[in-house]
Amino acid sequence: MKIFSALLLLILSHSAFAANPTILIDTNKGQITLELYPEQAPTTVANFLKYIERDQFKDTVFHRVINGFMIQGGGFLSSGQRADILSPITNESTNGLSNERGTIAMARTNSPHSASRQFFINQKDNGFLDAKGSQWGYAVFGKVTQGLDVVDSIAKVATNSQDKPLQAVIINSIELQK
């Protein structure tokens, strides 16, 4: 499987004729389709595809939701348990992609190279999250092509004081479409 992911990424990122991979996030609030950008964010896309290939986003949640900002998920199971992670990846926030409305980016701690599996979808333009000079940003690696209305719907759910939805927003699955 590891060889398959590496081969797939190699083919997708080096073929002038291949389309970027498309993924489908199926949630209990609807579906979101995204195009990934392996040319601009090869390490990030390969990492994300590993989790997809292993079906490790199944039954996770959007655990942090801030209307007018972003929705964050992929790191916690619907039971509330923290999901297992692979090794953190190198930050690719200097790839020329901006945290604009509808883009998907990697969540991380204050340590720039700490992203592993949690991601967020920008609900609005969040250029302040981009890399600037020697300041690391949050690595964008794709963009919503369908389902931005679902992102907006998720962003409007009621949350507690820690931005956690009061009713779980479940990621049923994330699948590679092509």
Q: Is the pLDDT of residue 18 over 70?
A: no
- Tens digits of residue pLDDT in 73-124: 999 999 999 999 999 999 999 999 999 999 999 999 999 999 999 999 999 9
Q: Is the pLDDT of residue 17 over 90?
A: no
pTM score, two decimals?
0.90
> Is 2-176 a CATH 3.40.50.880 domain?
no
**Which residue intervals of 29-107 are DSSP H helices?**
42-53
The predicted pLDDT at position 6 comes to 55
- Tens digits of residue pLDDT in 141-165: 999 999 999 999 999 999 999 999 9
At residue 61, φ and ψ (nearest 5 deg) are -135, 160
- Tens digits of residue pLDDT in 23-78: 999 999 999 999 999 999 999 999 999 999 999 999 999 999 999 999 999 999 99
Q: Where are the domains of the chain?
A: 2-176
In this structure, what token pair is assigned to residue 93? 């926030």
Nearest alpha carbon to residue 45 among 76, 6, 83: 6
